[in-house]
Amino acid sequence: MKFEKYQANGNDFIVLDENYTHKSLLAKKLCSRKESVGADGLIFFNKYQNRIFFFNQDGSEANLCVNGLRCLGLYLYRHNILKKRRKINFGNTFYYLEVYQDNPFLIKVIFNKKDYSFQTKTFKHKKIYLIDIGNKHLVCDKSLESKLSSLVEIWPSYNINFVKIISQDKISVKTFERGVGFTLNCGSGSLASSVVYHKLNLINEKVNVDDKLEIDLSTCTLLGKANFVFQGEI
């Protein structure tokens, strides 16, 4: 079995052709950091259907992973499948991958223009926000990070994002991803947090996230790096 490994802002993934059965079990096996290759998730790409299937480290399937999309973009670029722009089916939703720069490799993920809505809840006398942008995210202030276990217990199907607003043009996001745990970066969590806080009129449409991602809600784009790590065979 040949594989390639990529990372986007420290969020790392194994990429395989889609021609494998038992995808969930394979993800749990290959993503183990102590017993195998190790990664936050496993990406299967079906080039005939132009479709991505994504599984978390624990074997659970997800319908969106923005950092995974950027890593897939680099995989397709290295294999001459992506030249400049390509439409990808992820969870029965279509996204565009657009190469922005070659060296260092920067790629845009373009979302369907959508007026995302969210629910407002109260937790420990503070506002939290529930939003579904293709996968489910809970967005809250960084001060609630010490309450992580309670948040996960009450909303187990959500990724939990702890946000600090630095300015109207910049935020910091720390994400506890369902099926993985805390990761070095989460693209969809950054997008979800940006959508919520912009709708609350706390940040601008264009926002920098941790000096790693540039999000422009006016054009529904997310720009960031992706890197090839290594390839192998097991």
Q: pTM for the whole thing?
A: 0.95
Residue with tokens 């202030």: 141
Question: Residue 104 has what pLDDT?
Answer: 94
Question: Residue 114 has what pLDDT?
Answer: 75
Distance CA 143, CA 150 (A): 14
Chain centroid, CA 39 distance in Å: 14
Residues 177, 182, 184, 185, CA torsion sign: positive
Q: Reply yes or no on whether the pLDDT at 234 is more than 90.
A: no
Q: Reply yes or no on whether the pLDDT at 115 is more than 90.
A: no
Distance CA 108, CA 82 (A): 13
User: In the chain, how long is the greatest CA-to-CA distance?
Assistant: 52
Full set of structural domains in the chain with CATH = 2-112+222-233 (3.10.310.10), 118-219 (3.10.310.10)
**52, 90 contact by CB (below 8 A):** yes
Question: Residue 113 has what pLDDT?
Answer: 73
Q: Reply yes or no on whether the pLDDT at 29 is more than 90.
A: yes
Distance CA 207, CA 221 (A): 11
Class of residue 193 by CB neighbours under 10 A (exposed 0-12, middle 13-18, buried 19+): buried
